[in-house]
Amino acid sequence: NAHGLRGPDYDYPKPEATRRILLLGDSVAAGFEVDDSQTSARKLEDKLKTAGQWQVLNGGVRGYSTDQAYLYLTYEGFRYAPDIVIYFFVSNDVEGNLKIHSQGKSYGKSYFTLDPQDNLLLQGIPVPKSYDPAEPTRVAHPSAAGYFDRLEGLGRKSDAAESKLRPRTIFLWVKRWLYKNSLLYQWVSARIKKLPGMTARLHTAGFVEHPGYVAPSAEMMEAGWAVTSKVIEAMRDFCDSIHAHFLVLEVVGRTSQPQKQLAEITDRLGIPVISTDAVFNSKNNALSARIPDGLHWSAHGHSLASELVFDYLSRNGLLAPATPGSDARDAG
C-alpha cells in the first residue's frame, strides 16, 4: 500500500472509536505464501468485526529479525497509534539479530550490540543503500563469523568474483525453492544428512552444506539471545510509552520446539506469549497448517493464528469497546 505495508491503506490518524493492532515480524507475519485476504492480519480483522471497530496493520517484512521489527515500530509503526502490538517471534530471529549483510545479497541492515553495562547500542547507521553481492558476509559478533555463509552454502570465498558467485546463487535459489515446496525433497534431505559419507561427497560436489555446518555454536546463541532479550525488552518499554499492550506470538515450526530462553525472557519481563505449538502441531493441523517448508503458514495456518490471537484478546478483556480518549490498556 502507500506506506509500504501489505494490506489496506490506513492513514496514520486513527478514526474515532477505532482500535488498532500492529503485527510485527518477518515473512511468517507478512504471509506472501497466501492471498492478502487469507493472511492472519485480515482474518483477525474479520473476527474483530464482532467486537467493534478494529483495524489490523500487517507490519511483517521478509527477512526481518527482532532488531528490524523494533526499529520499524519506533520509526514508523507508532505513527498508527496502535492499541496492541504483537511481535511474531521465529527462532531464527536470534541468529538474524547478529547478521548485517549476507554474501550474494545486495542489501544489509543496521544492528544492535551491547555496551559493557548491557545497554543496546544501535550500529551501522546510516545503512548503505546497496552492497556488492560479492562482498563477504558481515556479522555483529565474532562468534557468528562464517555461520551464515555455511548456512547459505556459499562457503568462504576470499577471491569470489561476481561471475563465479552467480551460478552458485542460482543453484541455491533452486535448492531453497525445492525445500520450500517439496515434502519429498525435505524427506530425502533429512535422511542424507544422517549419512556422513554421502553428505561429505555431496558437499565436495557442492550440492549440500558441510555436515558440520548445521547448528550455530553455543557462544553464538548466547550472544544472539543476549541481544534478542534486550531488544524485546526495548519493544515492551516502547509500547508502554505509547500506551499499547505488547504481546509475543511464538511461531513454532513443524520440526522445532518452543524456545525455553524466550519463555525465560518473557516471564522475567512480564510479557504475555501466545504459542502456536499445541494447535499447529496437533494431529489435525501438523501438515495442513504449513506449506512444505515446515515453517511458513498455509491459508489454514493463518486462520488458526488469527483464532489464537482473537481467543487470547477475548479471554483477557482486551476487546472492550473504545471510548473517546481511551486506549486498549484501559481494558484488561
Measure the CA–CA gap between 252 and 110, rounded to whole angstroms. 26
Per-residue confidence band for 172, with pLDDT thresholds at 50, 70 and 90: low
The CA distance from 246 to 257, in Å, is: 23
109/93 Cα distance (integer angstroms):
14
The predicted pLDDT at position 163 comes to 43
Give the position of cell 542489501: 107
pLDDT at 157 over 70: no
- The predicted pLDDT at position 332 comes to 47
pLDDT score at 189: 63
Round the average pLDDT of the chain to a whole number and report it: 84
Does position 187 have pLDDT exceeding 80, yes or no?
no
Rounded CA-CA distance 149/108 in Å is 15
For residue 120, what is the enclosing H or E element? strand 120-123
pLDDT digits (tens, 9 = 90+) for 266-324: 999 999 999 999 998 888 888 888 887 778 999 999 999 999 999 999 999 999 776 55
Architecture of domain 18-95+220-330: 3-Layer(aba) Sandwich (3.40)
Angle at alpha carbon of residue 213, lines to 69 and 160, rounded to 5° = 85
Q: Give the pLDDT score at 199.
A: 54
- Residue 222 or 215, more confident: 222
Q: Which of 210, 213, 190 is nearest to 201 (CA)?
A: 210
pLDDT score at 161: 38
Each domain of the chain, given as residue ranges in start order, spans 18-95+220-330, 154-212
Is the whole-model pTM more than 0.85?
Answer: no
Residue 195 scores a pLDDT above 60? no
CA dihedral 222, 228, 234, 237 (to 10 degrees): -90
Q: For residues 330 and 83, what is the distance between their CA atoms, to the nearest angstrom? A: 10
Residue 76 cell numbers, joined: 514508523
**Residues 235, 73: contact at Cβ < 8 Å?**
yes
